A and B are shown apart, each in its own frame.
Chain A
Amino acid sequence: MKGVHLKQVTKSFGNVQAIKDLNLSIKPGEFFTFLGPSGCGKTTTLRMIAGFYYPTTGHIYFDEQNVTTLQPNKRNIGMVFQNYALFPHMTVDENIAFGLKVRKMPKKEIETKVNRIREIVHLGEYGHRKINELSGGQQQRVALARALVIEPDILLLDEPLSNLDAKLREETRFEIKRIQSELGVTTIYVTHDQTEAMAMSDRIMVMENGEVKQIGTPQEIYNRPVNRFVSNFIGESNTIEAKIETVSADDITVQTKDGMRLRGKKQNVSPLAQLDREQTIYVSVRPELIQYGPGENEMVGTISFVEFTGLSAHYLVKMQNFTLKVMILNDGSPLKKVGEQIMLNIPSENLYFLGE
């Protein structure tokens, strides 16, 4: 179990700067996720930590050890690849034992360790199977076992669930989390799926275009995103452009383009936002935080789309200058219809203000 520290790391491929000045500290034993759309630099960062790329500038430390240009085979890491990268010419056991053999461990010890880890990942009787005789989920668990059996200081997971079908994905998600917390290994997880990231991580780093946008716990990132990108990338969100009208000790009042006034709490302002008068600001509201009927920040709009998922009803409600996504939990009341007028209200503590 080691901590990972990146100090002013940049990475360029030719003229393209893939990573711009990255600073990051991951605590020992933490489950840390790199989250972002494809091409944001999350895999590049992971591969620098693994040692498959070396940073163009900057340094990488495992605890106090500088590993910036250490070869990957000397880092004692375990890595699970997106396509598993199992050795097709070996059996399950041979795959798992590979890293132990490289470490010249005695045969007996290898056997014990392989058997134990095979139990942990629930592959008890599959030791002598060929890789191509396993299902996708089983292959995934072999890859995990192979990475874990060497007792790595750091476990790296590169979109390990993206090749599984939806149901297996959820199952394996729990499995990985269970094994990780059982063994307590520092884990770095790369994904573009925000649900996965939210469900599994201790902390999440959101990246875009090679830059870090926000680092925080899932709750921080969901409830207090720093900008519009994070707010829209994590979960569903409505973002309404507005101008600041008044700022008091507790409250902020803004006016949208069609003249609607919205009032929110001053504690719900992103640290990056400026609160000058007439300043443009973005109001972010999660669809599930909007309510039916009269109340604070009330407004009337026309329903333009209805979708019922069982758990909830989703509406698109057209206002004069913007459209709101609204999600109402299903309580058995009848659905509204397209074209109907509807009154909505947003409690003032449910508004969040973003600067950019």
Chain B
Amino acid sequence: MNNPFESKWSRLTQSPYFIYLLISPLFLILFAYVVYPFYQTFLQSFNGEDTLLNYKKFFSLASPANLEALWNSVYISVFSVITCAIVGVTMAFLLERYEFPGRRLLSVLVLVPMALPPLVGVLSFTFLYGESGIIPRGIQALFHLDKVPFALKGIWGVIVVHTFTMYTYFYLTASAAIKGFDPSLEEAATSLGAGRIRVWLKIILPMLTPSMVAASLLVFMVSMASYTAPLMFGVDRTMTMQIYLARTNGNLEMAATQSTILSIVSITFLILMRWYQNRRNYQNLSKGISVHRSEVSSKPLKMLAVIGSFIGTLVLILPILVLVLISFSVDGSWTVQVLPPKYTFDHYIALFTDERTWRPIWNSIQMSFVATIGNILFGVAAAYAMVRLQFKGKTLLDILIMVPWALPGTVVAVNIIAAFSTENIFAFNQVLIGTFWILPLAYFIRHMPLVFRSTSASLMQLDQSIEEAARSLGATWWYTFRRVVLPLTFTGVLAGTLLAFVQSIGEFVASILIYSTSTIPLSVAIFQKLYAFDFGTACAYGVLQIVLILIVLVISEKLSKGSAGTAL
């Protein structure tokens, strides 16, 4: 203790402000890659002869394209929430509360939409139900009609795709709520003389409300941010499409204005969600009792259930089947036939042998790898700071990390363009646009919360006294972190890491706006193949992505089961 250096050091570490020195890198990164780009976009939106010119243009009634886009986005989002809620909650109740033939298969397949990367999902829908899709054409051929009986297109096409890809948000929250629902509450209500309807209205629905509200906000946010579906169904008048068009037309100031307005909507919803989740939280007081499923017993109902679950299974599995089918079709051969006429295995061989088709895969792997390493370092450090350290500004840190997740990918891309198309200090005085580094940066920003969230969840479960025990036994902080904290939170870190990695591989929305031609990512390559009528190659890419995601899902599932067995 007499060593002057050591006493200076210990005086520093014991200072109440030392903690802020420790967490400053986290805030610096958030400032550089979240706040600063956002601010640059914000500044850009005020450029022009008149500072408010762009906003005047946006809200001008003379050329209502922008207002129409805003209205369409809201309209689509509201409808998506309604349809997703109906499908998701119904599925949750059917699968959790009733026993019927085909239930087990359906309860596995119900999560299929989660395995579809956004672009790939929309792709298979257009192949299936689009104007030249397999189903409408098939029906036309079967009944010898003059034209296709129906086709997914326009706004309704977007809403149908949203319903298919986003109902899982409702399904997951609702089925979790139903699983955690204590049946004795229902029994108590019944014993007090309440009828079936009253139990539903007064007990079950109110208990489900918090999770429904949370899911609604989430679906609304994701729908507002949706870009791929409007793109594929040719709906130009949505916010994201307007941003894309303004950007490709070189009107960066208008793109910035639109981005700012869309950001404000998204962040408002983020704050609303946080506020709501903090405000209401029903937790069940009893534990360990699960709801019994009631058996569907009457004959006609049973038939109905069988037919229903068959159709459900079909609807869920068709998008993947069709992708697999088309991935074997010869490029350019499928024109007006119901099904592709010629098949080949070449696309899969080419994926790994042809330099030109392998290139985008390798690019994506490299860029996602770099981004994911960044996500791990930042996510673990931020999670530890958030859960274990005491400092002012925690809420700010939490919100700043969640903001990139709430922002539409389109907006993230516009922000990055605004900040990094010139040299700046946060890019080490380089112009990042046009280089390899721009997409890893975008992936890092967009998937920032994933590792953070999974790690902080497992840290929260880890009792602080375990760390203290290690410290009391003489271990330094670093030794404790390596030998006790990391091994015990490993599954959480890994789950988030894998998720961040596959999400980066499949990322399309931001990529399409900022990719550089020398390092084209996988998703942009799919898009380009599609427009070159190389359906086979595009779908082979898609199947590859789905396989990757399935592998990750299986590993995560294994991990979460395994950890439940060993951790206390």
- List, in ascending order, chain B residues with CB within 8 A of A223's CB: none
Question: A218 an interface residue at 8 Å Cβ cutoff?
Answer: no
Q: Which residues of A contact B473 (CB under 8 A)?
A: 73, 78, 98-99, 102, 146-147, 150
The residues of B that contact A82 with a CB separation of less than 8 Å are: 465
Report B-chain residues with C-beta under 8 Å of the C-beta of A88. 466, 488, 566-568
| Known pairs A82-B465, A88-B566 / 18 extra A-B pairs, C-beta < 8 Å | A50-B468, A52-B471, A72-B472, A73-B473, A73-B476, A75-B472, A83-B465, A85-B465, A86-B466, A87-B469, A87-B484, A88-B568, A98-B473, A99-B473, A102-B474, A102-B479, A143-B469, A147-B472
Question: Are B566 and A79 in contact, CB atoms less than 8 angstroms apart?
Answer: no
Given contacts A88-B567, A132-B568, contact A76 B465 (CB under 8 A): no
Q: Point out the residues of chain A lying under 8 angstroms from B479, CB to CB.
A: 102
A326 adjacent to chain B (CB < 8 Å):
no
Task: Report whether A77 and B472 are in contact in the complex, using a CB–CB cutoff of 8 Å.
Answer: yes
State the Cβ distance, B565 to closest chain A Cβ, in Å.
8
Interface residue ranges of A130-158 to B (CB < 8 Å) = 130-132, 143, 146-147, 150, 156
**In the assembled complex, how far is the CB of residue A104 from the closest CB belonging to chain B, in whole angstroms?**
10
B483-507 Cβ-contact flags toward A at 8 Å (1 or 0):
1100110000000000000000000
Query: A54 an interface residue at 8 Å Cβ cutoff?
Result: yes
The CA of A156 and the CA of B465, in the complex, are separated in Å by: 13
Complex alpha-carbon distance, A52 and B469, angstroms: 10
Is A330 engaged at the interface, CB distance under 8 Å to the other chain? no
The interface size of chain B toward A, counting residues with CB under 8 Å, comes to: 23
Could you say which residues of chain A place their CB within 8 Å of the CB of B517? none
Known contacts A54-B14, A99-B474, A132-B566; A85 and B487 CB within 8 A of each other: no
Q: Is the CB of A98 within 8 A of B470?
A: yes
**Chain B contact residues, CB within 8 Å of chain A:** 10, 14, 463, 465-466, 468-477, 479, 483-484, 487-488, 566-568
Q: Which residues of A contact B468 (CB under 8 A)?
A: 50, 52, 72, 79, 81, 85
Contacts of B465 in A (CB 8 A): 81-83, 85
A18 CB, nearest partner CB in chain B, Å: 15
Q: With both chains docked as a complex, state the minimum distance between the C-beta of A84 and any C-beta of chain B, in angstroms.
A: 8
Please tell me if A167 contacts chain B, counting CB pairs below 8 Å. Answer: no
Is the pair A85, B474 in contact by a Cβ cutoff of 8 Å? no
Let me know if B488 and A73 touch, CB within 8 A.
no
In this complex, the interface size class of chain A, counting residues with CB under 8 Å from chain B, is 20 to 34
> Could you tell me which residues of chain A, from 88 to 142, have a CB within 8 Å of some CB in chain B?
88-89, 98-99, 102-103, 130-132
Residue of A nearest to B567 (CB): A88
A76–B474 CB distance below 8 A: yes
Give B475's nearest chain A residue, CB to CB: A102
Find out whether the CB atom of B463 lies under 8 angstroms from the CB atom of A98: no
Shortest CB distance A54–B (Å): 7
On A, residues with C-beta under 8 Å from B are 50-52, 54, 69, 71-79, 81-83, 85-89, 98-99, 102-103, 130-132, 143, 146-147, 150, 156
Identify the interface centre among B465, B476, B567: most chain A CB within 10 Å of its CB. Answer: B465
Chain A nearest CB, measured from B293 CB (Å): 31
A-side contacts of B567, CB under 8 Å: 88-89
| Contacting residues, chain B, for A146 (C-beta < 8 A) | 469, 473
Question: Which residue of chain B has its CB nearest to the CB of A95?
Answer: B469
Contacts of B470 in A (CB 8 A): 87, 98
Bound-complex Cα distance A279 to B403 (A):
68
Complex contact B474–A89 (CB within 8 A): no
Q: Knowing A78-B472, A89-B488, A130-B566, say if A69 contacts B466 (CB, 8 Å).
A: no
Which residues in B have their C-beta under 8 angstroms from that of A89? 487-488, 566-567
Specify which chain A residues have a CB less than 8 angstroms from the CB of B568 in the assembled complex.
Answer: 86, 88, 131-132
CB-based contact A73/B469 at 8 Å: no
CA distance A51 to B473 in the complex (A): 12
Q: How far is the CA of A75 from the CA of B484 in the complex (A)?
A: 20
Give the interface centre of A73, A78, A99 by most chain B CB atoms within 10 Å.
Answer: A73
Chain B residues with CB under 8 Å of A98's CB are 470, 473, 475, 483
Query: A55 → chain B, closest Cβ, in Å?
Result: 11
